Structure formats: C-alpha cells, structure tokens
Structure 1
Amino acid sequence: MGFHVNSETGRLRRVILHRPDLELKRLTPTNKDDLLFDDVLWVRRARQEHDALADALRDRGIAVHLFGELLGETLAIPAARALVLDRVFDEKEYGPLATDVLRAAFEELPSFELADVLVGGMTKREYLERHPEPVSVRFHVMELDDFLLAPLPNHLFTRDTSAWVYDGVSINAMRWPARRRETVHFEAIYRHHPLFTGAEAGGFHVWSEGQSAYPSTIEGGDVLVIGDGAVLIGMSERTTPQAVEMLARGLFAAGSARSIVALDMPKRRAFMHLDTVMTMVDGDTFTQYEGLGMLRSYTIEPGVGDSELKVADHPPEHMHRAIAAALGLDGVRVLTPSQDVHSAEREQWDDGCNVLAVEPGVV
C-alpha cells in the first residue's frame, strides 16, 4: 500500500517537519503581523524544541523527513527547479525589467542554497552584495533592507500547506499572501522528489492543484481525517465552503471517502484553524476548546450524478451527533478541560487543544 492517511489517530509512520531557521530570525515587531505571527520568537529555543520533538518521534520508529532537505533535493531536479522559479519570478510581482534578471541570478544558486533563500528570504542589500543592480523601477524604489524575496516563517506549520486525505494529498491554496509561495514548494516536492515518485509512494491522488485554485482556499489545519471514509473540515477564516465542495467532489469521484462534515466556524484569528480548537485523540474521542461552543454543521455525501453532492444542514446542538453519524457511531466523547474562562482562553491562544496523536489514544 502506498502513502495514505486513514485516520488522525492511526499509527503515525512518516512525518514532514521543518526545522526553524533564517526565516524566523527575519521576524521583527514591525513585520510580524504581515507574516502572520503574534510575536517574534526565540529562534535558538525553537530549534531546541523542534529537535526534541523530532527525536521523540524517531524514538517511536517514525520516519522524520525534514522539509528543508526535501526541498533542496527537489531543486536539484531541473524540472522542479524550473517549476519553482517560474512561479516565484513573475512579471506581476517584479515587473518586466527585473523578472528575467532576478530569475537568472537565482538559477545560478546551488540547490540547497536556493532552498535556504526561497524559505529564508533575501533583501535588496543581500542581492547587491552578489550582483549588479538591474535596470528596473521596481528594484530602484526599494530600500536596501526591503525584502526582494520575503521570508516564509509559516513553513514551520507543515500541516497547513498540504494535507493527506486517505489515498491522496491536497496541495492547498493558502488564504493570505504571506503563505502563498509555500504551496509551490510542496507542489514541486510531491511532483518530483523520488520519495513521492518512486515505488514506495505507490501512486496517490492529488486532490487540489495548489495556488491556482485561489480564491477557493483550504488549509490543512482545518482538515481532520476521522476515519471510516469520513472527513471533518472547519470552514474557518482560511478555508472556504467552495474549497470544501471541490475536495468532496474529488474524494467521492475516486471512491476515497463517503462523507464530509463541515463545521461553520467563527471567522476570527483566535479560531484560525479547526485544529487550534478541536483535535481527534482516539477513534471516538476529541479534545475541544470550551469557548468553541456548538457550531452549525453540514454533512456532504455523494449525490446521484458523478459531480453532484448531497448536503444535509444540522443545527448547532447536533454538531457532535453529525460527527458521530459520519463515523458510524452512536456518539463521540468530547474532552473539554475544566478551567475558568480566562485560563481556558490563554490555553487556547497557545493551541492547548491542538494535540498530535501518534497512535490511538497516544498524544
């Protein structure tokens, strides 16, 4: 059997992690909001915590694939390198005078150095330390420390940019500009890296083709594969109803899933993804932030025709009932920490309900 994810709580065998690096050092109090961070980070401590997590996973026999290594190896493949550079260096971003010059300069970089720059970013000053200034209005108006290529600190959250759903992967169109370049990196990896093109991968579906789907956006933190052919999706500030419908159509057409339960989430940053307020820890058990409450939900199932969908609307009080029905259960167990409202809100802000199950009942 090839690569697949049959349940959030099945035994985890492989994972893609990204080790914090230059991109997080680029965060400042001035740019953190644009880069979707609430504060600057202590990068050395972040690396230590990342390494501890990676070691803990390896100790359980889980293969840890580092995103930076995958990207560097992928960029050594000419077709993959061309895919990435063609998408990044676009006239709509850099103008007709600078685009070809910049692309040629980045084309010269060794694969792993190119990977570092694509993720860590590059300022105008750093570019000029290596290359002459191109004749370009777009380039001339930049300050020396402006980013010619913005850093991508959100690559830390590898779950969001792609999501494995049963026997395929969704390469996601991201909601905010700060994350959209992440998508092409994963598209290149899944299309060209030997790990995913070789026999071990076994062939897999691609449920979404990347940023071209925009404005139909979906992010992996909103997608929970709950098992038994069911998927739970949060329609948050970053995942749109139309993206849910498109994913459902693809899954059903391939016979890979039989139902999707979509939750109508609050469109606020505190609830940016479903996994920040609700995660699955066992076959019938979920953690849930108390402040989430009960939400209106929609069960989507295959319709009569190949492209038709059948939708059932459920009132908020039936949210858990709809999830249980999708799993073929009489009910689900929901674990909500007993805390005062202020403590609960602080815990949720730090993703207190966002846990990773490495096997049933083990987080």
Structure 2
Amino acid sequence: METVIEGLEHPWGLAFLPGGGMLVTERTGDLRLIRDGALAEEPVSGVPEVLALSQGGLLDIALPPDFETSSLVYLSFASGTAQSNNTALYRARYEDGALLDGGVIWTSQMNKTGGAHFGGRIAFMDDGTLLLTLGDGFEFREEAQNLENHFGTIVRLNPDGSPASGNPLAGEDGALSDIWTYGHRNVQGIAIDPATGIVWAHEHGPRGGDELNIIEGGNNYGWPIVTAGLDYSGARISPFTEHGQDYTAPLREWLPDSIAPSGLAVYRGEAFPNWNGDLLIGALAGQALHRVRVENGQAIAEEILLADEGARIRDVRVGPDGLVYVLTDHANGAVLRLSPAD
C-alpha cells in the first residue's frame, strides 16, 4: 500500500481520466484534479452548489463509456436545504480543469428533512443507461416500499436524465417510471461486472444487517419489512428476518455489527489474477477493505485488508493499470494504491 495523495477533505468518489489523472469529489463541495502524482492547487470550476450537511454534499462522480468523445462528467450531490432536500444528478463537459455547460438533469422526488441517507452512487450499464442509487432518508424508511417516490430506490436513467425505456415498474399504478428496484435502505456501493454483466450493490443496515445484493430490475429488496438488523435503540425493526418469495434475499449480511459499507468494485485485471471476479468493498465503521470471494454468482468467502490502517474507507476503484485505489474518509483524506507485493 502506498499513498498517492493526501490533503483531501472527506473524499467521496473517484474517476480515472483517459491518459492518466484522476478526478476526486470532496463531500464538502469541491472537485479535485490529481495528475502526475500531484494535487492541482485550485479545485475544478463549474461544480454545482451542494448541501454539505451531515452525510450530504458532493457525492459520486462517473464518466460515461463515450467520455473520450463526449467529455461528459456526471456528479451526484445533495441539493436543497436542511428542511427540504433531495439527491440530484449533474452533467457537464470537462475541459482543462473546468466543468462547462453544466446543469442538473435529474432530481429525486423525496423532499426530505435532515442530512442522512442520500445514496448517490452512479454506474453505467452496457446499453448506455445509468443507475443511480438512493437512500431512504433515514426518518422516512416506510417510504422505501412506496413506488410513488424515490425513497430507498435505484433508478435507471437515459444519459440526459430522462427515464430509461424498459424499466419494469413503469406500468404499475402510481409508480415512477424511472425506478429500477426498491426496498433499499441506503445504497452507497454499486458496480457492474464487465465480464458477466451482473450488477452488484450493497447497502447500509441499521445496527447490523448490511447487505450485499445482486440487483435485478423490478425486484423488491425488502427494507424495512424484512431485515436482520436492529434499530439503534436495540429494538427489532421488523419481526421478519427471512426474505421469502416476495423479497430478494441478500447474498451476504454482516451481523451482528455493521461494517457500514461504502464504495464497491468488481476486480478485473492482471495485477491480482487470483482476485478476478471478486468484490472489493470499503468499510467506514469497520475501517477496512473487504475482499469478497465470488464463485458462480455466490459470495463464498471474505478477506479483510488494511484493518491495521485505522482508516474509514469511503470508495474503492480498480484503475486502468489493474491496481486498486481507495479513498479514506477523513478531514485529511487520502488516495491509497494497492499493488502486488514483490
């Protein structure tokens, strides 16, 4: 493990630029450029104004598959005020350290209070559409079963922010046409395996009950009707801990303690050949990087890495070089790089 750069303020998401360099979001509201091992002195201009409150702020960043020709950048962020806020999606053109011609292309129908559970991870699918994860707003968990709003959902959008065609819930009475899946608590990790097309996601449980799921359009993942986690008071949230046929069961649950998962990558590369197809998951409360062994679409084993660093891991990505990059969630956060030992 080596430190690529330090001095980032609560970094949240990372994207690799063609030809080298990285763009890193800071939850407090800045987008930073790292090139040739150095942090650009000035933040990238043209970033939208964000609500930097508690868990809210500038969240994820993603480059579409056609970035080399389009130069488009997508940012998710918390928008609004402490009394009324949403998760929003911003699109702009990146050029020479600036975002140009930017605008908000999608805003969630949540209008929640407080600064918790925004979700915010972005993943592009092979068909050019994108998935955006959302949270249940913490105090609004019952709404995660209501298809008339975006609480506790994953949405599937066209590149311009409009609902993608073929969303399986669009025909249901009252359902928002951009919802892809629902019944989630707070999804802060999503990744698509480029080799299999499987969409993986994890979500925060309350006290225990973090989940690792395979995401399939139209499915209900159960929150808060069924959960293995406890409320913060120690009381049961629901009498149901088994998902049954109406709710998609997780492949992995973390019990009795939550690791608070954030960031997710499917490893495909040459640097760590024994890791191919495995999942890399950051842990905030667990202060570690978890490697989940995957075989035939099943999570069969788990290895805990970086536990001796004492760092909250916010994001994890596989670089173009096949090495693993992680963001530490601290006021003096860092980009760390993992490479094979000699």
TM-score (norm 1): 0.36
Normalising by structure 2, report the TM-score: 0.38
Query: Greater relative contact order (Cα 8 A, min sep 6): structure 1 or 2?
Result: 1
Which structure: greater strand fraction?
Answer: 2
